[in-house]
Amino acid sequence: DQQVKQNSPSLSVQEGRISILNCDYTNSMFDYFLWYKKYPAEGPTFLISISSIKDKNEDGRFTVFLNKSAKHLSLHIVPSQPGDSAVYFCAATGNTGKLIFGQGTTLQVKP
């Protein structure tokens, strides 16, 4: 049972355009959401997070939007850069203390 789903395995965008990565979850007990970025042969690194009491969090070029009623969050990268090419994982946690990850979306930003 996949509680966190990233339904798009891959995404390709042109440099300078917006990248939108989507994530859906099923567990209404999740109250904190994170995005991680992973380059090949490296461990994932934290990118941005959002609490369920907010609907938007922004950090430079990265913005995460949370729609609790739809159980959906998205990561926007504007403008996209070739160095953003990586695998992006959405993750969620609630009162269990466990961080549950999605399947990941591979983003390719073309120069």
Partner 1 sequence: DVKVTQSSRYLVKRTGEKVFLECVQDMDHENMFWYRQDPGLGLRLIYFSYDVKMKEKGDIPEGYSVSREKKERFSLILESASTNQTSMYLCASSVTSGGTGELFFGEGSRLTVL
Helix (H, G, I), strand (E, B) or coil at 91: strand
Which residues make Cβ contacts (< 8 Å) with residue 48, sequence separation at least 6?
A: 34, 35, 57, 59, 62, 63, 64, 75
Residue span 27-66 as binding mask against partner 1, x where in contact by CB under 8 A, dash where not: ----xx-x-x----xxxxxx--x-----------------
Options 19, 63, 80, 93; binder of partner 1; rule CB under 8 A: 93
CB of 97 to partner 1, least distance (A): 3
> Which residue ranges make up the site for partner 1 (CB under 8 A)?
4, 6, 9, 31-32, 34, 36, 41-46, 49, 89, 91, 93, 95-104
